[in-house]
Amino acid sequence: MSYYDARETRDPAAREQDLFARLPAQIAHARTHAPAFARLLADIDPGAVTGREALARLPVIRKSELLEAQKAARPFGGFAAVGWGASCRRVFASPGPLYEPEGSRADYYRMARAFHAAGFRAGDLVHNTFSYHFTPAGSMMETAAHALGCTVFPAGVGQTEQQVAAIADLAPNAYAGTPSFLRILLDKAAELGVKPAFTKAFVSGEAFPPSLRDAFAARGVAAFQAYATADIGLIAYETEAREGMVVDEDIILEIVRPGTGDPVAPGEVGEVVVTTFNPDYPLIRFGTGDLSALLPGASPCGRTNLRIKGWMGRADQTAKVKGMFVHPGQIADVVRRHPQLGRARLVVENPDLTDRMTLHCETQAGSDALAAAVATSIRELTKLRGEVVFCAPGTLPNDGKVIDDRRTYE
């Protein structure tokens, strides 16, 4: 068994202690050097944030807020601690547009750990098909490969026949890109009578079901996936155990109820919230908008960090009902008003093409009086009428949905 470094197998309690020993300095750094955090965390004592309970009291910064902040204060909305110059080597644009800085440190996105788990080693030639334009994906993979001592062919996307020609000429043994484009390249190579030298692949950016993984293995390519974002870099990565994804060593990961900053119970699906130790872009409690859940226990591969199930959908479940937007946070506020309630899910339907909302609530104390009180809260907080249905604790699906929009328009 080969590990990237000794931190991957350390005692979980020691890891937790180390992360939260580092956190106060990162919060202080963000407040001092990133104007947005100076405002958002003005009343926070960094030295007091030394555990998960204290961290959970800080605000969650979601992509929608980051986008609005950037529109008001270009380029980074006050969330970055760097400006133009040597400290900001590149700047990228993700859909929105949302701009992200890339600092000058080696392996800036911390992807080398995931590449190592996928079998990439010094001396490999990596055929990198992630885009080098606008978004940071190409650079994320290239900087990781360089950190491991690999050589990179910056193929980018498209030009399939030219890519196959380069594969025939250079014989790269490693691939980085989306799984769908790897399949396209393998199929095109077979059509042109070229046998690629790929034996390993690092894939991301799309769903990667076991059936596709097995299809690649049958063609001699061992492919592994990771979960990363342009804002954060590496969040979690797959290992040879193939049981969920192991969380990166240099982030603090939380799973919260969508629309809130409240951590969910272990195993419950919720939004992935990440705190980084990146000094250039010090995002504290950044809501990715992605759904996942923690897996119990440690990975059979020997790595001891937390594991998540991987990407399970999007947390932004905002619905427009009768011309009004209804947000997951409003449903959370309804639940907070009534301590008798557990989890809740708002189901939106349109029988006879008329919008109807029904809040399904887990409780052991359902009554007509409670239903009336909850209905009043729905009306006050959403400005819309909604019915209330009670169900037993633990009976709502564990899929992270707070708003389930079931409307059809046929």
DSSP string covering 221-249: -EEEEEEEETTTEEEEE--TT-SSEEEPT
Amino acid at 15: R
- Residue-wise pLDDT for 268-313, tens only, equals 999 999 999 999 999 999 999 889 999 999 999 999 999 999 888 7
pLDDT of residue 383: 86
**Lowest-pLDDT choice from 20-24, 136-140, 144-148, 400-404:** 400-404
Q: How far is CA 380 from CA 138, 327, 330, 375, 385, in A?
A: 48, 14, 10, 9, 9
Mean residue pLDDT across the chain: 94
For residue 351, give the DSSP letter: G
User: Can you tell me whether residue 165 is helix, strand or coil?
Assistant: helix
CA–CA separation, 327 and 73 (whole Å):
26
Instruction: List b or e across 263-288, with b for residues whose CB sees 16 or more CB atoms inside 10 angstroms.
Output: bbeeeebbbbbbbbbbbbbbbbbbbb
pLDDT of residue 244: 96
Place 353 in a pLDDT band, splitting at 50, 70 and 90.
Answer: low
Mean pLDDT of 339-352: 92
pLDDT of residue 324: 79
pLDDT of residue 391: 96
**Quick one: which of 27, 22, 29, 18 has its CA closest to 46?**
27
**282 token code pair:** 């010090």
Mean pLDDT of 158-164: 94
**Quick one: which of 65, 40, 34 has its CA closest to 289?**
65
What backbone phi and psi angles, to 5 degrees, belong to 95?
-50, 135
Q: Report CA dihedral (226, 229, 231, 232) to the nearest 10 degrees.
A: -20
pLDDT of residue 110: 98
**396 token code pair:** 């709502």
CA–CA separation, 171 and 405 (whole Å):
49
With beta carbons less than 8 A apart as the criterion, state whether 312 and 258 touch.
no
pLDDT of residue 168: 98
Judge whether residue 375 has pLDDT over 70: yes
**Lowest-pLDDT choice from 7-11, 247-251, 349-353:** 349-353
pLDDT of residue 351: 86
Domains of the chain, first to last: 9-82+246-315 (3.40.50.12780), 105-230 (3.40.50.12780), 319-405 (3.30.300.30)
Element (H, E) at 127: strand 125-128
**Quick one: which of 262, 235, 250 has its CA closest to 55?**
262
CA–CA separation, 257 and 268 (whole Å):
9
Question: Is the pTM here over 0.75, yes or no?
Answer: yes
CA count, 13 A, side-chain hemisphere, 378: 23
For residue 211, the tally of other CB atoms under 10 A from its CB is 7
**Quick one: which of 82, 90, 128, 126 has its CA closest to 109?**
90
pLDDT of residue 64: 81
Q: How far is CA 392 from CA 48, 270, 397, 398, 407, in A?
A: 38, 20, 12, 14, 25
Q: How far is CA 262 from CA 57, 270, 329, in A?
A: 8, 10, 11
